[in-house]
Structure 1
């Protein structure tokens, strides 16, 4: 990427657009726009935002569905000098409103279909005819520093991503432009995306992995491929997108890879696994005929810190080595570096380190601490992750030092879910845990209700769903009369599953005579996928603990056993298993 000039995202993008103005920049459905067109549209909107007071370190909330407009809006905010706060419109409105209340952005940019109640923040409806006309009246050439409300420098804020909080309050990670040049250098030297390549934008915009997708596509001269959320669900929908759009580069978490068939997808391309521990089985399947990499890095750095690859199933699955501009230390409790092959806590430093947590100086001070090994005044992030280093410098992840977990590639603080459950008036005590591994990993909750409260597990799941995104909703909420206790009187978390489920999980039943009708097969497969003893025709799949991953596994099993391609959309749209069985029968 020697042609790239600049140290902020807008400068780097404009450098790319100047080299390949006619190359396709973004494609969505049947529409593709070039780098010149994307740059022009973003410049015009940026000038309108500057007129609204957006400048360096201004925070602008963005609530726009997946589309070309989403990319234009993000670029416009950055070109104006501001920073974007991404709000995924599929999230519960309560959670989006809480982010707005905490961040207090200068503006909210949304579409006419995206409404957020209770947000006392000036807003612009980007697809309103008046605003579109106002943008068209602006000049489309690149914005120069003198047009902004202040000089945009690398130290200025670029985005704020909210992550789960252990106290029940999500926290916003404030990331600057400082780490972008080294991020681009790392992507260039390891992944080699460029003109003619097609980069999938898979991650929700509310996660920093989406910024990796944007950077890998738009700062390399490749084409960024956008698709609707339903089309990116793991399994057959995602595979169809990979094949139909001839995707050459994709970043996907292990759980998604474990559910999606690799045949004919990303042939000769590049796949990167990140967000959770990768397994040899996944590497064996996805590294054949492709280059495969493994990455590591929390939200508190600019997307990542280390990278490994190309990897094969013959390798120990490491998280690799620090990428360009990053420093990784393995330290003990006294902040002393541990010897090779001895476990320690991972501390992250370098150009990509976040500024800290938005409006949370106390929390920032506890996690972003002075770096005794770096330049004077530098800091390092205490990740809470543990690992070890091989003699050749390769790093290996071994687990967490606290209650933070990764489920389906999402970072979750179990305490936030416990706090949400405890907010229900019928709940006395709530404990949340993760059971199972990788694709089978589930968030589960155990609750002791107040005496005389007739609350049910289904009611508590609905309560949580009003405030938390899908990946944080417990698959099951089990009511207990009392919690198992350890000798010191604390709740024995390890004994929760045993005490709540005294009967060992039943083995997967073999098909029996009379069990081959679509309806019977559906009910049997649902019990096996969810690990339930039985289901009723009037049950709702999602109230039983289903989620998007469950739906992917269910439709895959149905296709294998009945030879029927059951659309995942049909599963989401039906209210009961009986209705789903009727839809399945119609396809048969």
Structure 2
């Protein structure tokens, strides 16, 4: 596919950098870089890649969260290639899987080299290395993607091994052109790059500021995992746009309240990545942490380029939301959302259906998995074009407003009953004094299965007997947890999502 200036992230950035050369583009705990300096670093990386890669090729990106990281991303894009993020904090086995699955011939790294990688060039803090075993052009291990691909990000799911989602430059720019004007952000805004580059939320955090003359504060991994430190960083840097997964936001709110941190500069908080918890939003409002900040829920999917819907949150919106549901609002202008039954037919208003997403943000499928791509990226044959079948349930009210209702694969079957864990978790969070909750199916030493609830609460103030009485008022007997465990905080993954594996362990 032939791409034009308007289609490419790196070329749009170059135009912005030319107009804002002296302005701060990125900063971290160690310093800052101007738009001109970031542009120079991108050029250096692209120069070292020249002749070694190009359109339709993939380059692995294994870098720490520093002010230099955006330069590596831009350099790969400027070389014509697409990047495959490999978080250096991931376990070695997962890193190796991502590298093998993507078949990258080259790696850009500031985090050392792995076995079989040989340095061939250096650009600023980065080295460019070849990967032995990736094979010559056309060998089975080498992946080809469409020439306009910007990145391939792997996403986990219920289907087993992580799968690489192929996303193009045009799909990213369609998102930004549609969503940034809704936020009303621009060159005077300060964003954080909080999430790993291996999580697609980072795409929004990078280009939301950098393609509009803004400033990105890169949050290192250690600070991102310490909510109190992160809260102080937000205050000291005058951050105006914050993007958070709800699990991380819950921890941030608790620590900001405990430390009496105030964020008067904050104007926007954007949620994504998992279901919103209304109680957390109300707690934030009541605390007065950021009195001028608008809170916005943006449901999204990696396969449809980060964000799909836009929903400003107000007390009235939350009051009108049924328990166990999350307000999603309406589709972004470049996308369409329809709710459909198992046969692909639209369901009436008020009925639960699967979210199908169409429009210019829909990705190019799964890398090297044509069968799975055909199952999830479909054309319903009604003239509406190609859609992505999300596997998420939602309902629409009479005004067309969307409400998330859970995952198709979020159900468990226990003793013959189908149980939605999200419904139990919503009931747990409704117990006064419980600030966070999760529920899992766990195995007993005798081999049978039961429900275990995990709550963030003071055991003395909210004893298990109180929790059980409250649940019994809302849930049938087969949905009652057999065990209740108390935690200081719910564990989260590198991406800020609830870490159910850590709970299970």
- Both proteins in one fold, TM over 0.5: yes
Give the superposition deviation at 1:243: 0.6
Q: 1:199 to 1:388 in 2, by over 3 A?
A: same
CA deviation profile, 1:381-409 (whole Å, cap 9, x unmatched) = 1101011112322211111111489xxxx
Give the superposition deviation at 1:436: 4.3
Asked whether the 8 Å contact 2:441–2:451 carries over to 1, the reply is no
Asked whether the 8 Å contact 2:41–2:123 carries over to 1, the reply is no
CA distance in 2, matches of 1:388, 1:6: 36
Give the superposition deviation at 1:354: 1.1
CA deviation profile, 1:519-558 (whole Å, cap 9, x unmatched) = xxxxxxxxxx9628xxxxxxxx9xxx98469xx9xxxxxx
CA distance in 1, matches of 2:234, 2:406: 31
Asked whether the 8 Å contact 1:8–1:154 carries over to 2, the reply is no
1:289 match = 292
CA distance in 2, matches of 1:280, 1:380: 30
Asked whether the 8 Å contact 2:436–2:490 carries over to 1, the reply is no
Larger Rg: 1
* Structure-to-structure mapping, 1:93-112, within 5 angstroms: 93-111=92-110
* Structure-to-structure mapping, 1:65-214, within 5 angstroms: 65-111=64-110, 113-117=111-115, 120=116, 126=122, 156-214=148-206
Is 1:390 matched with 2:393?
Answer: no
Give the superposition deviation at 1:13: 1.0
2:268 match = 270
CA deviation profile, 1:295-316 (whole Å, cap 9, x unmatched) = 011111111111111x212214
Secondary structure of residue in 2 paired with 1:386 = strand
1:245 match = 237
CA distance in 1, matches of 2:265, 2:440: 38
1:31 match = 31
Asked whether the 8 Å contact 2:248–2:492 carries over to 1, the reply is no
Secondary structure of residue in 2 paired with 1:289 = coil
Asked whether the 8 Å contact 1:307–1:322 carries over to 2, the reply is yes
Residue correspondences, number: 422
Q: 1:128 to 1:256 in 2, by over 3 A?
A: closer
Q: TM-score, normalised by structure 1?
A: 0.65
Secondary structure of residue in 1 paired with 2:298 = strand
Give the superposition deviation at 1:506: 11
1:346 match = 355
Secondary structure of residue in 1 paired with 2:7 = coil
2:316 match = 314
CA deviation profile, 1:180-202 (whole Å, cap 9, x unmatched) = 22211233211122112111001
CA distance in 2, matches of 1:240, 1:505: 23
Secondary structure of residue in 1 paired with 2:304 = coil
Q: TM-score, normalised by structure 2?
A: 0.75
* Structure-to-structure mapping, 1:217-236, within 5 angstroms: 217-233=209-225, 235-236=227-228
CA distance in 2, matches of 1:81, 1:8: 10
CA deviation profile, 1:328-367 (whole Å, cap 9, x unmatched) = 1111122111122221110011111111111111111111
Asked whether the 8 Å contact 2:154–2:165 carries over to 1, the reply is yes
CA distance in 1, matches of 2:155, 2:411: 11
Secondary structure of residue in 2 paired with 1:102 = helix
Q: 1:129 to 1:164 in 2, by over 3 A?
A: closer
Is 1:18 matched with 2:18?
Answer: yes
Asked whether the 8 Å contact 2:311–2:329 carries over to 1, the reply is yes
> Can you give the 5+ residue segments of structure 1 that lack an aligned partner in the other structure?
133-152, 406-413, 415-432, 447-477, 485-494, 512-528, 533-540, 553-588
Aligned-pair RMSD on alpha carbons? 3.5
Q: 1:131 to 1:229 in 2, by over 3 A?
A: closer
CA distance in 2, matches of 1:374, 1:22: 48
